Amino acid sequence: MHEIKPGQSVELLKELHILTRDGKMNQDSRRKLKQVYHLYQFIEPLLEEIRADHADIRLVDHGAGKSYLGFILYDLFFKAREAGSHIYGIETRAELVERSRDLATRLGFAGMSFLNLTVGQSIDSGLLPPQVDIVTALHACDTATDDAIRYALAKRAAFIVLVPCCQAEVAAALRKNKGRVPAGPLAEVWRHPLHTREFGSHVTNVLRCLQLEAHGYQVSVTELVGWEHSMKNELIIARYKDLPRRRPAGRLVELLQALGLEELSGRFFTSP
């Protein structure tokens, strides 16, 4: 138990299967705990920066699933600090929303809410605050990573933290539009199906970064080592700095055109 940070909820760690039901740790649970702390070390400085400006932090987690990320952040950061901060978990599957609500009630995590909403509903919902400090999406499935970006841009969140997922749409568009790309060495990059998938995944995240920069954000990209045994191990952190937008917006359009992906311009929109 010495590896667990002081004040952490043992009951939560059991619910997340980081501790066994009898409160012990094995090799697998030590690995999971290491992964949790590794992710937290990226997000904690952002929360501290917001807290230095105002105490009541508003965090929205899109595609929350079982709200693993929200619970960990609340337990490690929000629980011991000033009242008034709040974490909102947004999830379209009603059964997961109810499960998270029940767990938060049992743990006494009063500063957490779980809403059964789509991204379109969440942007306009009166259940969420008009001002948001940080938006997260951790391996959010289907369109939830891009939905989180849409939401964050609409709210002009101070920080956006993404571990992207579901990049198949770009790969499908690459396959469909191969004939529109001028013949040459560049076309070799995604000639084989496996390369199409891998290149499509990479291009998706490049486009996401350009989109964020085109809205005035400063973007950093790093590897989230050890979070999952998965190739989808990229961490994108965006900080709103009101930076010049014209160059990244132009580059995004140029890249879509060069790869025959103009049909996706609505997904990676650049206008405010």
Per the CB < 8 A criterion, the answer to whether 239 and 218 are in contact is yes
pLDDT tens digits for range 206-241: 999 999 999 999 999 998 765 544 456 789 999 999
CB 67 within 8 A of CB 61: yes
Question: What domains sit in the chain, N to C, each tagged with a CATH number?
Answer: 1-164 (3.40.50.150), 167-265 (no CATH)
Q: What is the mean pLDDT of each run of 10 residues along the chain (272 residues)?
A: 74 83 75 78 95 94 89 92 89 95 94 93 93 88 82 95 81 81 77 88 92 97 66 85 94 92 88 72
Angular region, 150: left φ>0, alpha ψ -120 to 50, beta rest: alpha
Q: Which segments of the chain are extended strands (E)?
A: 58-62, 86-90, 112-115, 134-138, 159-163, 217-223, 234-240
Rg (CA), the chain: 20
**Which pLDDT value is given to residue 20?**
77
What is the reported pLDDT for 1?
Answer: 43
The strand pair at 86-90 and 112-115 is best described as: parallel
Instruction: Give the integer Cα–Cα distance in Å for 9 and 78.
Output: 13
What are φ and ψ of residue 251, in 5° steps? -65, -40
Q: Can you give the pTM of this predicted structure?
A: 0.90
Show the tokens assigned to 107: 């743990």
The token duo for 229 is 């045994």
- Given this model, what pLDDT does residue 229 score? 45
